[in-house]
Amino acid sequence: MPQDEEPPPSKAKRAWIATALVLIVVVGATVGVATRWGRGGESAPSLSERQSRGTDLVIAVGDVTGGEFDPLKGWGSRPAQIRLIHSSLLTVDEDVNFVGDLASKYSVSDDAMTWSFTLRDNARWSNGEPVTAQDVVFTYETLKKDGTRFDLTFVDRIDATDESRVEFHLKEPRSTFVSQLSEIPILPAKHYDADYSKDPIGSGPYTVVDYQQGQQLILKTNPHWYGQRPEFDKLTFLFLGEDAALAAARAGSVDIAYVPPTFADQRIAGMTLQSFETVDSRGLSLPTLPAGNKGKIQGNDVAVGNDVTANPAIHQALNIGLDREEITKIVLQGHGRPAYTLVDGLPWFNEKAVFEDGRVEDAKRILAEAGWRDSDGDGIVEKDGRKAAFTLMYPSDDKLRSDLALVVADQARGLGIEITTRGSTWDGIYIDGKANAVTWGGGRHHAHQLYSMYSSKTIDTGYNNMPQYSNPTVDGHLDRALSATTQDKANEHWKQAQWDGKAGFAGEDGDAPIIWLVRIDHLYLVRDGLHLGDQPIQGHGHEWALFNTLVQWRWEK
């Protein structure tokens, strides 16, 4: 007769061990058999194969697509993304100067309204046909007409004066056009149609062999590429999550893997951690208007303003009182550096905007001089019966920004300012973010971000100028920067907008509507001996940032 009770607890342990053993044996055996079977025609690269210095690379830095090679679907709206298989009129060098790519030379008219380009004569599509001025005109006219992916509203018309010359006539001067010229991939007019994504023809160093959505992208060299032949004949990009990418690196199957700062202390045999400086920055946006105002974000009506952060002394005290080094250490485990503007280290960065921070006493003095005093002894200052307290919003799925919010709140308390952190979604932040502080981010090879974040003319458009900041002096500098006729002049004005000696949005005595705090270093585990070229300061997005130097990648001698 079968027993009906469960096994008594005393035997539980023995049963557990038995279970574990059976499990291991069964699974192990199944798996072992299946492996030998599966390995019949297998060619998954093993550790030893990968370690030899071959002419192909396997790269796991996240999903490098997004737009599927077609600018009408967004290809190129991420920095340096197009450098894989396309070329553009301009590109950036290791010092973030805009230099010719398809264009062998270019000039801007004295009134900054006409931009003329001469194409290099040896540019070919991956099918061998020549790249012509008509292709350039076709690309820009198509994008301007579409109008969803690239803002080209300032372009009046585009003319091909002959096979190799193009002229852009603008409606208004726009010095930051150079950045777009380096991000827009040129399309083959003859071969572009709705199915372009399936078989993209480009004029870049590589061409697509196979694209497996959500899995991998396989590229081989474009035999008609006009530049120096790359050292690697084949590139395979794996779209793995961060954990899976690390597991793949451990298993020896990848040559380059992105690692977030929290994984940076992982050691993997045969690979070295390479760290790259970036302008991928994080900071705090603080409303500059008092509460009760109205405004727009992305076309929606929202409340604007905050009575505490509207006080300039709060901005200044936080700006000099927060300790950026300390924040970098805690939030990024040291894999980053302090940020003072959105553009630290770029050609349009004003070094006068850097100052000594972490000055708690000076910050308290600034608050006291502005009338903020701790009258009830709770460690938080008050003015006119109002506590120096506000809410800081962060996207709750972003660990870095939530850590940042917590550390900032902790440090601010030491200055006498009470910050309540509140996790939300981006859509939530876009509704409440103009009445509260937000952990803001940005950073591209694109000076236009300075204009869109600080010019009063961009208030209530897109999610530009979150703090609703307005300073006529800064506006003047920004306008002059945008309408400058040369890059040098533009950079000079961008610098003055940051700090011109009397006013500015950055620097120790600046308005600081957005207090920039840290720049994140991009970290990659890279196969020993692999040199990734002379990288410029990388832009936002670790997936694409490496590609500016794609053709310089090589094994070290």
Residues 138-177 that bind other proteins (CB under 8 A): 146-149, 151, 153
Query: What SS3 state is found at 79?
Result: coil
The distance of closest approach from Cβ of residue 88 to other proteins in the complex, given in angstroms and rounded to an integer, is 17
Q: Which residues of 276-303 are buried (b: 16+ CB within 10 A; e: fewer)?
A: bbbbbbbbbbbbbbeeebebebeeeebb
Least Cβ distance, residue 19 to other proteins (angstroms): 4
Half-sphere exposure of 359 (CA within 13 A, CB side): 13
Print the binding letters for residues 253-282 with other proteins: x by CB under 8 A, - otherwise.
xx----------------------------
Q: Write down the least CB distance from residue 13 to other proteins, Å.
A: 10
| Stretch 315-334: interaction string toward other proteins, x if CB under 8 A | --------------------
DSSP 252-282: T--SEEE--GGGTT---TTEEEEEE-B--EE
Q: At what angle do helices 487-498 and 472-482 cross, to 10 degrees?
A: 170
CA 557 – CA 555 distance, rounded (Å)? 6
**Interface with other proteins (CB under 8 A), residue from 177, 192, 239, 440:** 239
Task: Pick one of 15, 25, 29, 99: the residue that binds other proteins (CB under 8 A).
Answer: 15
Nearer residue to other proteins within complex by CB, 78 or 445: 78
- Taking Cα atoms as reference points, which of 545, 404, 465, 466 lies closest to residue 62? 545
Q: Which of 27, 121, 272, 325 binds other proteins (CB under 8 A)?
A: 27
User: What is the closest distance, in whole angstroms, from the C-beta atom of residue 249 to other proteins in the complex?
Assistant: 9
Nearest approach, Cβ of residue 28 and other proteins (Å): 9
Q: Stretches 116-124, 334-342, 458-466, 513-521: which one binds other proteins (CB under 8 A)?
A: 458-466
Hey, what amino acid is at 88? S
CB of 159 to other proteins, least distance (A): 24
Q: Between 321 and 541, whose beta carbon lies closer to other proteins?
A: 541
3-class SS string, 330-346: HHHCCCEEECCCCCCCC
Q: Is 31 near other proteins (CB under 8 A)?
A: yes
Measured CA to CA, the distance from residue 506 to residue 176 in angstroms comes to 20
C-alpha–C-alpha distance, residues 97 and 109, integer Å: 19
Binding status of residue 38 toward other proteins by CB under 8 A: yes
The CB density around residue 364, as the number of other CB atoms within 10 Å, is 18
Write out the binding residues for other proteins, residues 198-227 only, by CB under 8 A: 209-210, 212-216, 218
Q: Of these, 62, 67, 200, 205, which contacts other proteins (CB under 8 A)?
A: 67
249/270 Cα distance (integer angstroms)? 10
Sequence-ordered list of residues with C-beta below 8 angstroms from that of 289, at least 6 positions apart, any chain: 304, 305, 306, 310, 468
- Backbone φ and ψ of 498, nearest 5°: -70, -50
Q: How far apart are CA 343 and CA 345, in angstroms?
A: 6
CB-count burial class (<10 Å; 0-12, 13-18, 19+) for 213: exposed
- Residue 109 binds other proteins, judged by CB under 8 A: no
Map the footprint of other proteins across residues 518-557, applying CB under 8 A.
540-541
Do β-strands 281-285 and 514-520 pair in parallel, antiparallel, or remain unpaired? Answer: antiparallel
Among residues 159, 199, 376, 427, which is the contact residue for other proteins, using CB under 8 A? 427
Smallest gap from residue 283 Cβ to other proteins (A): 15
- How many chain residues bind other proteins (CB under 8 A)? 86
End-to-end CA distance of the chain: 78
Q: Which of 299, 377, 385, 501 binds other proteins (CB under 8 A)?
A: 299
Interaction between residue 25 and other proteins (CB under 8 A)? no
**If binding is defined by CB under 8 A, does position 120 make contact with other proteins?**
no
| Min dist. Cβ of residue 341 to other proteins (A) | 18
The two three-digit tokens of residue 180, written as one number: 């777009």
Candidate list 199, 229, 241, 334; residue touching other proteins; CB under 8 A: 241
Q: Which residues pair with 124 in a beta bridge?
A: 130
Among 113, 189, 251, 330, interactor with other proteins by CB under 8 A: 251
Which residues fall within 8 angstroms of residue 27, CB to CB, at 6 or more apart?
Answer: none
Among residues 23, 25, 29, 99, the one that binds other proteins under rule CB under 8 A: 23
Residue of 248, 368, 380, 406 interacting with other proteins (CB under 8 A): 248
